[in-house]
Chains A and B, each alone.
Chain A
Amino acid sequence: MTDATSDRLAGATDRTRLDRLRAGLKRRHAKEARFKWYGRLAIAAAVLFLAILLVRIVEQGHTAFYSHTVTVPVYMDPARVDRAYPQGSNFEQLAAEQQLARWGVQDDAAGRASAEMRGLFSSELKFVAADLVAKRPDVIGETVPLAAPLSDDADLYLKGEISKSTPEDQRRLTDRQIAWLERMQAEGVVGAHFNTALFTNGDSTQPELAGVLGAVVGSALMLMVTALIAIPLGVGAAVWLEEFAPKNRLTDIIEVNINNLAAVPSIVYGLLGLALFINWMHLPRASPLVGGLVLALMALPTLVIATRSSLKAVPPSIREAALAMGASRTQTVFSHVLPLAMPGVMTGAIISMAHALGETAPLLLIGMVSFVPGVPHAIDQPVGALPSLIYIWENASERAFHERTAAAIIVLLVFMIIMNAAAIILRRRFERRW
């Protein structure tokens, strides 16, 4: 405060001084209140969007978690079941015809009725029957109950996704099929169950058989590769840059470039991976190995930055204490600085892994958009990944894939939440020690 101001304040009467203070105070409080409201509004907007997103996904996806199965008695006609090669027998036709016969419905010459009936069963019925015959050949000639999923369209109808009011030629089920479906339901042979196929199967062209397991395993294998490469490299680079590197032009350039790399769009990493790992190094396309390498490249800058900032946050007094005790630089870093930075390092690592898990663009470029049935078990095989599975399913023409897309998103979100929770728990545990 200048002398002139203080003189003026001192010279003013107490009353005017207080008035002036009061007026200013009012303005200050108003500003504070306004700012608080901005904050509340921002949070409310964020929460609202998040809620809309979650509600939308759950609303669309919750129906994918259960599905309908039908149980039909099938007479294993010795004339039509191929004993040597059960998979070759047309069990669906057999089941459809027998179902029609039980109801006394006459099949026409073109077999249209039995085709429609067959359309209600999933092709899984065939494999259920074939497996049974392969395991117990003595069932041939007997009548056995076969349980199999309903076809995706029948399932959708029972979930209320297909409306009877839609004109017949514009929906996937005929009036007759709907009538039969309702009759089966009335007879109690149709039941709703938890959709285990969603979690135990790989991808499939049949929505009722498609599952996320293949993609989950693919993503897990890929993340394993990413973690094994990115975490040691990233933490090592950060420790060296922060604790050992001389501060000169070269390290400045490295630092600037790491920051730049963190901002490079992920699709560019995909292009790099395609050029480097697939075209030049000839690593197998769409494999978790290549995917993991690309994601590791992508995660490295973020990891280095996170690790460096948590190393920076370690009070210098700890370094001084250790150095003054005669600890070498390496001892100082590894027995004092790094353990203290560990919660931050691990949080950074897990967050960047979670980020890598959800990354889609680079995967598209290295061929992970291809249809991969089954569950992978090696890092050099083509696999699917969760985000690319979501992309594939979203683009599929079968309507039943839509709810499964949302279900796959839910699975992905659950994994993200688990990883983030792990980050929080680890941080808590390490911080609680001292």
Chain B
Amino acid sequence: MKTRIFRSAEDQTGAGTADPTHAVRMGGQVLPAAVSEASETAGDADRIEAAAESSRQADQTVVATPPTGPIKIAARDVSVFYEGKQALFEVSLDIPDKTVTALIGPSGCGKSTFLRTMNRMNDTISGAKVTGRIAMDGEDINDRSIDPVLLRARVGMVFQRPNPFPKSIYENVAYGPKIHGLVSAKSEMDGVVESALKRAGLWDEVADRLQSSAMGLSGGQQQRLVIARAIAVNPEVILMDEPCSALDPIATARIEELIDELRERFCIVIVTHSMAQAARVSQRTAFFHMGRLVETGDTEDIFQNPRERRTLDYITGRFG
């Protein structure tokens, strides 16, 4: 269903009546009825041709508003291949520091793939290849001289499903500082664990059971524990891959609050399926579609005044 609506939009452009980006820039209005009718009657061959045409035209990313403030991560022409199949097409995106940047888009659009390029987690998948340049503070993170182990100490990650280690709450948080040799004394470690748990808003709930298993916590608590684990090593960037998709609304609200607080200290990039969540927590939004970055800009801009037809269709729930 979603492809039909998507294609119908392009159908019209394929007819050559107007420049598609131009038409959308006219204010992101809902399509006139005539357009949908035309699409209904158009043949399949035309539709496919039109879709191919649109993907050629869509190579260019629309930057609605350039980011303000210092840029933490600058991605240029980043492509990712899995076993020779391209999953991400020349994505260029600037991610500002001390800001929440939301990556949105339908399933399989490449937003998680892009997220995983930023801490080189794609390295762990055999057959994955990343091209292009990702610079963090001006330094290419894919450079040979960069150790992914060190990079991941600077770029933390939170996954879709809470994945605490099957160890105690304390050990979970202490793990990062321990392996990176950041903390040696036990008393110092206690302090690090406490402050990380406090910053993750979990301390009050677990202070009296630090030595019990992390697996006994609720889903929301586990996800906050995972965030505490990530911030315990004081990373510069935190990547979150749909951190709330396995949680109930109350737990989600707590995580969102937490993200808002963490923004003051970290550069946060969050992949989300929820438009509402992107609108609530992020200042910058990047919309991905079919492996391409379609549009990026200030969240407010993207949601209220998208310049790309597909962005509009997606955020208004016409597909995705």
Contact = CB atoms under 8 A, between A and B. Distances in A.
Given A319-B124, A320-B121, A434-B213, A327 B179 contact: yes
A218 B159 CA distance: 54
B88 interface: no
A320 B176 contact: no
A323 B163 CA distance: 12
A23 interface: no
Name the residue in A317, A318, A434 with the highest tally of chain B Cβ atoms < 10 Å from its Cβ.
A434
A318 B163 CA distance: 6
Given A326-B149, A326-B152, A321 B159 contact: yes
Nearest to A434: B166
B226 interface: yes
Nearest to B229: A325
A333 to B, nearest CB: 12
Interface string A319-339: 111111111100100001000
A325 B175 contact: yes
A321 B163 contact: yes
Nearest to A246: B126
Contacts of A328: 149
Interface in A234-281: 246-247
B126 A321 contact: no
A340 interface: yes
A326 B179 contact: yes
A322 B153 CA distance: 11
A328 B179 CA distance: 9
A340 B215 CA distance: 13
B163 to A, nearest CB: 4
B166 A325 contact: no
A244 to B, nearest CB: 11
Interface residues of B, number: 29
Nearest to A314: B166
B20 to A, nearest CB: 35
B104 interface: no
Contacts of A434: 166-167, 213, 215
Given A434-B166, A434-B215, A325 B176 contact: yes
Contacts of B157: 324
A321 B153 contact: no
Nearest to B160: A317
B254 interface: no
B64 to A, nearest CB: 31
B233 interface: yes
Interface string B140-156: 00000000011111001
Interface in A274-328: 315, 317-328
B161 interface: yes
A319 B159 CA distance: 12
B180 interface: yes
Given A323-B121, A325-B175, A317 B229 contact: no
Nearest to A321: B163
Contact of A324 (B121, B150, B179, B180): B121
Given A246-B126, A326-B150, A318 B119 contact: no
B159 A324 contact: yes
Contacts of A323: 121, 124, 152
A216 B70 CA distance: 75
B121 A325 contact: no
B215 to A, nearest CB: 6
A320 B124 contact: yes
Given A320-B124, A434-B215, A325 B163 contact: no
A336 B165 contact: yes
Interface in A326-366: 326-328, 331, 336, 340
Contacts of A327: 149, 175, 179
A326 B233 contact: yes
Interface in A57-90: none
B164 interface: yes
A321 B176 CA distance: 11
B230 interface: yes
Interface in B202-236: 213, 215, 226, 229-230, 233
B150 A247 contact: no
A328 B148 CA distance: 9
B200 to A, nearest CB: 15
B165 A322 contact: yes
Contacts of B153: 326
Contact of B152 (A318, A324, A340): A324
A303 to B, nearest CB: 24
Contacts of A317: 159, 161, 163
Contacts of A319: 124
A322 B149 CA distance: 10
Contact of A318 (B127, B150, B165): B165
Given A321-B165, A321-B226, A324-B230, 4 more contacts: A318-B165, A319-B124, A324-B157, A434-B213
Interface of B: 119, 121, 124, 126-127, 149-153, 156-157, 159, 161, 163-167, 175-176, 179-180, 213, 215, 226, 229-230, 233
What 6 A-B pairs are tightest by C-beta distance, nearest first?
A326-B152, A324-B157, A317-B163, A326-B153, A434-B166, A321-B163
Interface of A: 246-247, 315, 317-328, 331, 336, 340, 434
10 contacts: A321-B159, A321-B165, A323-B152, A324-B152, A325-B176, A325-B229, A325-B233, A326-B153, A327-B175, A327-B179
